[in-house]
Amino acid sequence: MTVNLWPMIGVAVLIAGFLLRFNPMLVVAIAAVATGLAAPHTAVEVLAVIGTGFVKTRNLPLIILLPLAVIGLLERHGLRERAQAWIAGIRSATVGRLFIVYLFARELTAAVGLTGLGGHPQMVRPLLAPMAEGAAKTRYGDVPEALRERLRAFAAATDNVGLFFGEDIFVAFGAIVLMVTFLHEAGIDVAPLHVAVWGIPTAICAFLIHGFRMWRLDRRLDREFGAGARINDLPNGDGK
């Protein structure tokens, strides 16, 4: 039996589009059309499938935009500033410790199916990143723009790691259901709980590895800006 690998061209389109920094929506749409035509399906069939999917998910933009509007309103009334002020009041807080605590909470909540409690738009941008900047400002003084961008990147990465490896423990997670269904069709019967349990060691390793990276981040910041010293108190005011 010959396997048609041409539909995999959609993956190549996605990789090329993202590497070239094209519009993500356009890249995904072109990848979907390319995959459908290579399947092979006619152009009419591909457009019909895309249209059916659009009709089924037409309420999705409303679900996404409403929380963003609420978060934007909260930010306008000082959510980011309050988050920075709160974390600045905790003298023992460091950037690495903050990220480790959030990583643990993110993995734990994702493991029980509460994946919506975190995320980039509702948690990282309005809360986690400003809190990290506040912790850095308390410890080192004024935060340079380069450090600010680095902290935002680490905040996003921490959320990604916690969600990705935490949700693999949740029994009703879509990927676990997919794996169980695929194995069942191959004649291998396995319970979803067994698959979820084997996600625990991976989640623990991810926590330890990323936690170690956060510990190293604290050490690196201490070397660059001086442990416990404010940037403004150092020569030239730039931490060098």
pLDDT digits (tens, 9 = 90+) for 40-90: 888 888 888 878 877 776 666 666 666 666 667 766 767 667 777 777 777
**Structure confidence at residue 232 as a pLDDT band (50, 70, 90):** very low
The pTM (predicted TM-score) of the whole model is: 0.67
198-223 mean pLDDT: 94
**Structure confidence at residue 227 as a pLDDT band (50, 70, 90):** low
pLDDT digits (tens, 9 = 90+) for 143-184: 889 999 999 999 999 999 999 999 989 888 878 888 888 888
Among residues 51, 18, 142, 43, the alpha carbon closest in space to that of 88 is found at 142
Query: How many CA atoms are closer than 13 Å to the CA of 164, on its beta-carbon side?
Result: 11
pLDDT for 60 equals 60
* Sole residue written with tokens 């029994």: 171
pLDDT digits (tens, 9 = 90+) for 113-140: 888 888 888 889 888 998 898 888 888 8
